[in-house]
């Protein structure tokens, strides 16, 4: 038996899914899309039930990637039963989606979640009346308290029905539907005809007929058919709510949103919270990074170096272990800390408030407000930031966000900036690199927003009530996300590391260094050995700094390089190709074409910036 959980964003759907399936779930992209689909298995009375957590949507006729995917799954009857999860606090808005699902005549049940919050606000819902009106079973639940969650699968399995309620549309709509249902001998269904009036479907004959009719209706009503349909559904939802909901005085709550949603003090508070998250990711990740890296050095790499192994075997083992060290020691601490904090921010409801405040600014760069979260936390590590962009609305926006995030200086790049520029040149020079990168990010965003194909959808944002997150659910969500990094990014990192090691063993890296020396020396003004350091920075960004010290033969770099050379090296290595972990996740999330395009762009950007500063130094304008 297959059950699909469907509902608006922020209705507690994913929390219900976690209760029903535990942590044994699979997270995957639906074939042909980049939209997350989570699935798990639950066993009821010795019967296996496959449960799928569909992306949160507001409508079945929208044009976001998530809405198209869910609509296709519903149209193709991919599930035996749909569980429509509704927010009991904002019932009218949620009833809109329920009314749409009912039109598809798929067995379903309605789950009114957040019953505890509704009760606090004095909202009382007559579930029996709602069940009688719609013709489907209705459950009242509280996912945060676990109330009635165990009843969902048994009720879905034994009592799910297709429902009896049908929205009464405008008479012109009803006439159009009757006409379209006679277009062919097999006759499209009522819901197929309604979708065709909005230009949705695959039947060319039906779409052509619907286009003619909808054009006439648009002209007569002076509004698109989609607006008429939406208005009728909202009216029906309002009528149902009036019949089933009663309101009594509830408990007074402190108006935090009076602070959090206004530009002042909302934006300063947002900046403070994001910076606190960034510092937490940096310091906690750095603490565990140091422990893990040092443990590898003492207990693994030192004994390996002392062993008398065949050089080729040693190189393969060394490259393999270095990859594990890079993944577990560098990326893993930041990734896990990132997802713990992200889960807390999501489950408290503050994520929507951040997106609301940032939306106006981010729109200038072709993005929605929610893109600010992965971009800011990319300062800790680009890997989880890239993985987090799957939350962003459309493919176009995810493409732009991927470009911009790879330019954000992660903590490993910060090691280069701090370890080279701040130490040997000065703090203001280090700050100038951050300002240059910020300017390039803004410029790149403006250009991409103009040239990237696709539409930028308006953001319909539901701001959920603030909640105290469940520790168990936070840990579950963090594990589900980190497991994907361990299973996907780590193997790719290990293979890439061994490949680079073999290139070095057989002298290919030396050939590459000799080939790139003219570019590195003549265009960037760097010593030839800097090219090898830049190449090793692909494996781990801070390795560019470490390799530079080894090749220079001294930790006191000013002995062998001038200040402008140190500055250019730090700038180029910071903008240069992302590390292997980031490239691997880019390939996983965005595909080979985007990963290659971003890598080439960052090479161009890094070398161009370096060449400009080298030219300025030759003119006597720097240092």
- pLDDT given at position 104: 94
Q: What is the arithmetic mean of pLDDT over 342-364?
A: 78
- pLDDT given at position 34: 45
Task: Tell me if 113 sits within 8 A of 87, measured CB to CB.
Answer: yes
Do the two domains 2-159 and 171-247 of this chain adopt the same fold?
no
Q: Phi then psi for 443, rounded to 5 degrees? A: -65, -45
Q: Burial-class residue 289 by CB neighbours within 10 Å (0-12, 13-18, 19+).
A: buried
Angle between helices 171-180 and 204-221 in degrees, nearest 10: 160
**Cα radius of gyration rounded to whole Å, the chain:** 28
| Token pair recorded at residue 6 | 């469907």
Q: Which residues fall within 8 angstroms of residue 96, CB to CB, at 6 or more apart?
A: 58, 59, 233, 234, 237
pLDDT tens-digit series, residues 472-500: 778 877 787 777 667 766 786 688 778 87
Query: Per-residue pLDDT for 519 more than 70?
Result: yes
| Token pair recorded at residue 280 | 């937490």
- Give the number of other Cβ atoms within 10 Å of residue 616's Cβ: 13
- pLDDT given at position 430: 85
pLDDT tens-digit series, residues 520-562: 888 999 988 788 888 878 877 877 876 776 566 566 788 888 9
Q: What is the arithmetic mean of pLDDT over 446-471?
A: 72
Q: What is the arithmetic mean of pLDDT over 107-121?
A: 92
3-state secondary structure of 370: helix
Say what percent of the chain tops pLDDT 70: 90
- Domain 171-247 in CATH 1.10.287? The answer is yes
Query: Per-residue pLDDT for 24 more than 60?
Result: no
CATH code assigned to 2-159: 3.40.50.300
pLDDT tens-digit series, residues 70-103: 999 999 988 999 999 999 999 999 999 999 999 9
Query: Per-residue pLDDT for 32 more than 50?
Result: no
- pLDDT given at position 359: 75
Task: Tell me if 199 sits within 8 A of 112, measured CB to CB.
Answer: no
Q: Which of 24-28, 416-420, 543-547 has the highest mean pLDDT?
A: 416-420
Domain chopping of the chain, boundaries: 2-159, 171-247, 258-435+448-484, 500-618
pTM score over 0.75: no
| Token pair recorded at residue 149 | 């969650």
């Amino acid at each position: 038996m297959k059950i699909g959980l469907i509902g608006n964003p922020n209705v507690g759907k994913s929390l219900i899914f976690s209760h029903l399936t535990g942590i044994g779930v699979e997270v995957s992209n639906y074939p042909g899309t980049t939209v997350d689909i989570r699935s798990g298995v639950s066993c009821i009375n010795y019967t296996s039930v496959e449960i799928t957590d569909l992306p949160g949507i507001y409508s079945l006729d929208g044009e976001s990637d998530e809405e198209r995917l869910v609509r296709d799954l519903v149209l193709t009857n991919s599930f035996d039963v749909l569980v429509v999860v509704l927010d009991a606090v904002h019932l009218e808005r949620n009833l809109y989606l329920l009314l749409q699902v009912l039109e598809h005549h798929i067995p379903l049940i309605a789950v009114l979640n957040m019953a505890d919050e509704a009760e606090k606000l004095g909202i009382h819902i007559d579930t029996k009346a709602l069940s009688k009106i719609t013709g489907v079973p209705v459950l009242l639940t509280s996912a945060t308290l676990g109330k009635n969650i165990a009843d969902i699968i048994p009720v879905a399995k034994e009592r799910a029905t297709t429902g009896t309620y049908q929205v009464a549309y405008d008479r012109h709509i009803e006439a159009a539907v009757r006409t379209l249902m006679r277009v062919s001998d097999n006759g499209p269904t009522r819901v197929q005809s309604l979708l065709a009036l909005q230009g949705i479907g695959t039947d060319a004959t039906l779409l052509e007929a619907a286009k003619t009719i909808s054009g006439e209706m648009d002209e007569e009503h002076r509004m698109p058919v989609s607006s008429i349909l939406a208005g009728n559904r909202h009216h029906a939802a309002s009528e149902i709510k009036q019949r089933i909901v009663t309101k009594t005085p509830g408990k007074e709550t402190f108006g935090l949103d009076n602070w959090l949603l206004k530009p002042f003090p909302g934006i300063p508070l947002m900046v403070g919270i994001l910076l606190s998250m960034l510092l937490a990711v940096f310091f906690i990740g750095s603490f565990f990074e140091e422990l893990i890296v040092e443990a590898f050095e003492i207990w693994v790499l030192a004994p390996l170096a002392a062993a008398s192994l065949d050089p080729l075997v040693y190189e393969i083992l060394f490259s393999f272990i270095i990859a594990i060290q890079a993944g577990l020691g560098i990326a893993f601490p930041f990734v896990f800390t990132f997802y713990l904090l992200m889960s807390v921010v999501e489950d408290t409801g503050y994520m929507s408030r951040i997106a609301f405040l940032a939306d106006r600014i981010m729109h200038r760069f072709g993005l929605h407000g929610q893109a600010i979260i992965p971009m800011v936390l990319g300062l800790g590590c680009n890997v989880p930031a890239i993985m987090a962009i799957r939350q962003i609305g459309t493919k176009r926006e995810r493409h732009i966000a991927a470009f911009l995030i790879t330019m954000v200086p992660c903590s490993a790049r910060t090691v280069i900036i701090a370890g080279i520029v701040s130490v040997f040149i000065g703090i203001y020079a280090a700050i100038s690199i951050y300002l240059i990168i910020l300017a390039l990010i803004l410029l790149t965003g403006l250009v991409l927003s103009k040239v990237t194909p696709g539409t930028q959808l308006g953001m319909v944002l539901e701001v959920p009530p603030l909640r105290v997150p469940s520790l168990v659910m936070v840990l579950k969500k963090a594990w589900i996300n980190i497991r994907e990094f361990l299973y996907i990014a780590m193997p790719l990192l290990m293979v890439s590391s061994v490949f680079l090691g073999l290139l070095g063993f057989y002298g290919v890296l030396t050939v590459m260094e000799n080939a790139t020396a003219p570019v590195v020396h003549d265009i960037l003004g760097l010593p030839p050995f800097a090219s090898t350091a830049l190449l090793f920075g692909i494996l781990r960004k801070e390795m560019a700094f470490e390799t530079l010290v080894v090749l220079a033969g001294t930790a006191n770099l000013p002995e062998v390089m001038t200040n402008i050379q140190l500055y250019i090296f730090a700038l180029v290595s910071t903008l240069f190709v992302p590390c292997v972990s980031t490239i691997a996740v880019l390939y996983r999330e965005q595909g080979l074409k985007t990963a290659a395009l971003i890598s080439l762009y960052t090479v161009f950007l890094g070398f161009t910036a370096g060449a400009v500063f080298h030219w300025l130094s030759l003119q006597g304008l720097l240092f």
